[in-house]
């Protein structure tokens, strides 16, 4: 249940803005499967009243409540939000951010999208922790645990981490073979695991991922993760970036704030050489989900977009941010080596190349030719850094 957000602006005329945040956030959270969200009209009956979380939890049958406040002055807005366990009354999570947007509707959409994104991660973590104690978990329990494991695995990718995600989602599918989100998230682990790679190349595994994504869409057309996976498959393995972009747009038509689809869009745009648009989509991803578990991937891709635009210093900075975030596959060090070499920082380039070889000893132009997008001057910079042809 989303409790009515309090208006702290000191102006009762601003109540409509806080009420709009509450209403739109209720709608946004209703998209999260398999959530049960109390209607906005019911929630509004608690406006301005003292709230006892445990009492409301029992009365309405909800596990969690989201409460917050909005303080708006002109185009500047400050938002506070907190997630409460309705069974215990404990505060599980709190967030605060400020934005400055002149367009009132864009401002409200941004506030809602950012809150929903952060809340989604916290809700999954809370539910996964709760479900560990369930003696006979059902498919949805396993999906929640699988998502929680995925958010951990994507921060510091490893074969073991990805396999744990695939295993627990497989347990969900063993109970319910038609669980669309389990299919979509397992397919994502396959696609990204092959692309990074934490898994050796396996065409059968790639085809299985595409089949699971297609099946998820057929079962439940609103399964946005499946559009994300299919788009990435087409970019990485199908070499159909044009079609991949259309698939990502189909997913965004369902929910324009679904952040993973901004990442699949930028992958397709990189494949099409649209580096400026790719950068814009990555920045939108970061704006909507500033604490996303995939922040390392976002900084890496921003690094490649900057390289494609010829901004080599900015490119190196983004690659370094990705490494600091814990994202350290060989691709990040190869990108960093190229960015340094393009700036004639030979020693730094060689040091980055050494790190790349630790992750994958077979660092040659031939080996990487099909694994990186065609960015102007990229392979020339790698040769300059000391990467051999074969």
Highest mean pLDDT among 73-77, 152-156, 346-350: 346-350
**Confidence label for 103 from pLDDT (cuts 50, 70 and 90):** low
What was the pLDDT predicted at 132? 60
What's the distance, CA 95 to chain centroid?
A: 18
Average pLDDT over residues 180-198: 94
Domains of the chain: 6-131 (3.40.50.10070)
More confident position, 335 or 79: 335
What does the longest C-alpha to C-alpha distance in the chain come to? 71
> CA 238: distance to chain centroid?
22
pTM: 0.80
CA angle at 260 for the pair 102 and 183, rounded to the nearest 5°: 150
At 144 the three-state DSSP class reads: helix
Q: Encode pLDDT of 352-389 as tens digits.
A: 999 999 988 888 998 888 778 889 999 999 999 999 99
Q: Residue holding tokens 């051999």?
A: 388
pLDDT value of position 23: 85
Evaluate whether 95 touches 117 at the Cβ level (below 8 Å).
no
Q: Is the N-terminal amide bond of 388 cis, ω within 30° of 0? A: no
Report pLDDT digits (tens) over 148-179: 899 889 888 899 999 999 999 999 999 999 99
Rg of the chain on CA atoms, in Å: 22
How far apart CA 204 and CA 211 sit, in angstroms, is 10
Q: Are 168 and 175 in contact (CB under 8 A)?
A: no
Q: What is the pLDDT of residues 26-66, one digit of tens each?
A: 887 777 766 788 888 888 888 888 888 889 888 888 888 88
More confident residue, 148 or 110: 148
């Amino acid at each position: 249940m989303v409790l009515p957000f309090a208006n702290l602006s000191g102006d009762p005329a601003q109540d409509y803005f806080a009420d709009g945040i509450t209403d739109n956030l209720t709608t946004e959270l209703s998209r999260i499967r398999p959530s049960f969200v109390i209607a906005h009209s019911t929630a509004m009956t608690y406006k301005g009243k003292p709230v006892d979380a445990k009492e409301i939890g029992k009365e309405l049958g909800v596990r969690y409540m989201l409460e917050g406040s909005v303080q708006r002055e002109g185009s500047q807005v400050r938002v506070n939000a907190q997630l409460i366990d309705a069974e215990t009354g404990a505060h599980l999570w709190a967030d605060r951010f400020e934005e400055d947007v002149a367009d009132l509707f864009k401002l409200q959409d941004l506030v809602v999208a950012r809150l929903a994104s952060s809340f989604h991660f916290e809700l999954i973590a809370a539910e996964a922790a709760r479900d560990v104690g369930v003696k006979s978990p059902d498919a949805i329990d396993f999906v929640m645990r699988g998502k929680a494991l995925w958010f951990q695995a994507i921060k510091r990718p490893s074969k073991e981490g990805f396999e744990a995600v695939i295993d627990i989602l497989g347990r969900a599918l063993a109970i319910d073979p038609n669980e669309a989100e389990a299919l979509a998230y397992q397919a994502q682990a396959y696609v990204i695991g092959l692309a990074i790679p934490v898994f050796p190349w396996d065409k059968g595994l790639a085809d299985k991922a595409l089949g699971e994504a297609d099946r998820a869409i057929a079962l439940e057309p609103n399964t946005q993760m499946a559009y994300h996976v299919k788009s990435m498959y087409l970019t990485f393995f199908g070499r159909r970036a044009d079609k991949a972009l259309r698939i990502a747009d189909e997913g965004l038509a369902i929910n324009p704030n679904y952040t993973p689809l901004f990442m699949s869009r930028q992958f397709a745009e990189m494949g099409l050489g649209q580096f400026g648009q790719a950068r814009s989509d990555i920045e939108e991803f970061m704006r909507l989900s500033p604490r996303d578990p995939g922040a390392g991937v976002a900084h890496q891709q921003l690094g490649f977009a900057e390289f494609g635009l010829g901004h080599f210093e900015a490119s190196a900075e983004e690659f370094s941010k990705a490494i600091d975030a814990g994202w350290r596959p060989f691709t990040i060090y190869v990108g960093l080596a190229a960015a340094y070499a393009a700036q004639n920082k030979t020693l730094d380039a060689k040091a980055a190349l050494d790190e790349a070889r630790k992750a994958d000893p077979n660092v040659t132009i031939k080996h990487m030719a099909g694994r990186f997008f065609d960015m102007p001057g990229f392979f020339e910079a790698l040769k300059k850094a000391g990467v051999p042809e074969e």
